[in-house]
Every structure is written in structure tokens, then in C-alpha cells.
Amino acid sequence: MKDFKDKVAVITGGASGIGRGIANRAVKEGMKVVLADIEAEALSQAEKELKSCGATVLPVLTDVSKAEDVEKLAQKTIDTFGEVHLLCNNAGTAPYGITWECSLSDWKWIMDVNLWGVIHGTRTFIPIMLKQDNECHIVNTASLSGLMANEIGQGMYIVTKYGVVGLTEIIAKELSLLKSKIKVHALCPGMVKTRIVDCERNRPSELCNDITEQIDHPELKPIWEAILGLGEAGELPDKVGDIVFEAIKKDIFYILTDTKLYYRRMIQARNEEIMESYKQNKQIHKSLEKRS
């Protein structure tokens, strides 16, 4: 899509951070924006600010972890604007900890929001877009952590983001097979300066942890601090919003907001390790064939 004027964007997690950055750019492109978020106050603040720039905004209080909320979001969008042309499955959270020590509540919360949220968006909106049969885009917010497993303490997050990347890759192939006009994109940001480090604000009360059961790991403290510091030094959400729109216009599948050589090398190293294992396994297969 090259011309976004008067088209309709639905952005989950649109009240803060990356979602808000995408919303700001959508408004500049002349789009009508549906902001979906679980935080009522931040949502109404974002609505006010965007409306003061002359934007057409529909705020919808939504918990993306609930299929029925996402279905209502779609219904409200269609009832209000008739169509949807851009869906950003972006809402996310990031509780952390040593992977096997994380509680079932941690796992449930992050899987429900980061992975099920995108699954609900996919199941609800793709049939609507297919029926419209016009040019549409879906941007699923994954992360660089969906392309490589490097951040210690981010195991649960990495699991969800690998899931989002895999989901987006297969949807792209299925849509292409069906000759659909819908294009999908995997947004894989590096560090962005947002409120993600304060994600506990959105943890549902029924998924709170028993703090007496938590294990302290002083050796991990410097790693957490480095991650938090990286967030502070990260990219600005508005720049991410700009990159997303430029990438949509060019039909780029993996949208990378941080192209530092350092990240390129890490992605390359992972791919090379897979290829090296491939060669080693090939040798095992050959030697087994010879023996039989």
C-alpha cells in the first residue's frame, strides 16, 4: 500500500510506546485510527492528544488476551468505519526471570498477551480482510528476540516472540497461496524507549506471583540493569512508527528498527550454526547409510 489517506488502522497496545509511535505516523498519513489498549487512562490521554491534531480516533478498551474482546474490537471498527486496512498486533508485556523458575502465572500472562493476543487478532481480522478483498496489511510486533535467543532472563519473552515470527511467516505463505491482497510483516525492533520495563502495571490480579517463592539471583542484577539501560538509550517510538510505514510501502517482510552491525552478526551467527549443524548431521546420515 502506498496511499493510506482515509484508510483505517487498528493498533493494539496503541496507548503507549511503539503502538503510539505507529498511531502518530498513521495520523500523519491521514488514516483513521482505532486505538485498542487495556489501560483506560492512557487510552483516553492518547485519544485526546491525537484528536487535538485533527485525527479521527476510536478508542476501544481491549484485553488482547481475550478472544471476545478482540472480536468486539473488530465489530466496533467495522460498525464505525466500515472497513479495516491496517492491523498492528502490537500489545505486549515482558516479565522476566530464569526460565525454569518463572511461575505458571508469569508464563500464562506473557503467552496470553504476546502470543494469544496475536493469534486472536489473526483469527478475527483475516477473515474480515479476505471478505473486503482489497489491499490490507498486518504488522505483528515480534522483536529481535524472535530471531535469536540471546538475552538471559528473557526466556519466556523469547518463546512468545519466536512464536510471533513463526506465525507471521506461515500466514504470509498461506495468504500468498490463496492469492490474497493481504500482506503481513514481522516487526522485529531492537531496544525502544517505551514503558515496557514498567509492564507489571498491566499484570492481571489473578496472575500475581507469591513473592515469598521468588529466588534472588544477585549475579543477574547487572544483566537486568544493562537491559534497563539499553531501553533508556533505545530508539524513539516515533522513529519506529516511521520505519514501519516506510517498510509497508516497500513490502518488506521483516521490519528491523535497529540495523547495527552487532545485531547483523548475531543473526548471521545463529544461521551459520544451523547450517553447520546441517552439514554435521548430513555426515551422520551418510555414515549410517554406509553401515546399513
* Binding test (CB under 6 A) with ligand NAI, winner from 42, 126, 175, 186: 42
Q: Which residues does residue 58 pair with via DSSP β-bridges, in sequence order?
A: 34
CA-based nearest residue to 80, from 174, 147, 152, 8? 8
Size of the site for ligand NAI (CB under 6 A): 34
Least separation, in Å, of the C-beta of 286 and ligand NAI?
41
Please report whether residue 140 would count as binding ligand NAI according to CB under 6 A: no
**One character per residue 213-242, x = contact with ligand NAI (rule: CB under 6 A):** ------------------x--x--------
Cβ atoms of residues 7 and 33 within 8 Å: no
Please report whether residue 33 would count as binding ligand NAI according to CB under 6 A: no
Task: State yes or no: is 157 an active-site residue.
Answer: yes
Indicate which residue of 96, 157, 254, 262 is catalytic: 157
In the block, residue with C-alpha cell 487510552: 43
Q: Could you give the 3-state DSSP secondary structure of residue 227?
A: helix
CA-based nearest residue to 50, from 84, 89, 9? 9
Please report whether residue 191 would count as binding ligand NAI according to CB under 6 A: yes
Q: Interacting stretch for ligand NAI, rule CB under 6 A, among 170-178, 196-204, 215-223, 273-281?
A: 196-204
CA-based nearest residue to 46, from 78, 71, 13? 13
CA-based nearest residue to 158, from 205, 95, 201? 95
CA-based nearest residue to 191, from 162, 167, 226? 226
* Binding test (CB under 6 A) with ligand NAI, winner from 17, 59, 121, 155: 17
Positions annotated as catalytic residues are: 157
Q: In the complex, which residues of this chain contact ligand NAI (CB under 6 A)?
A: 12-13, 15-19, 37-39, 42, 62-65, 90-94, 113-114, 141, 143, 189, 191-192, 194-196, 199, 202, 231, 234
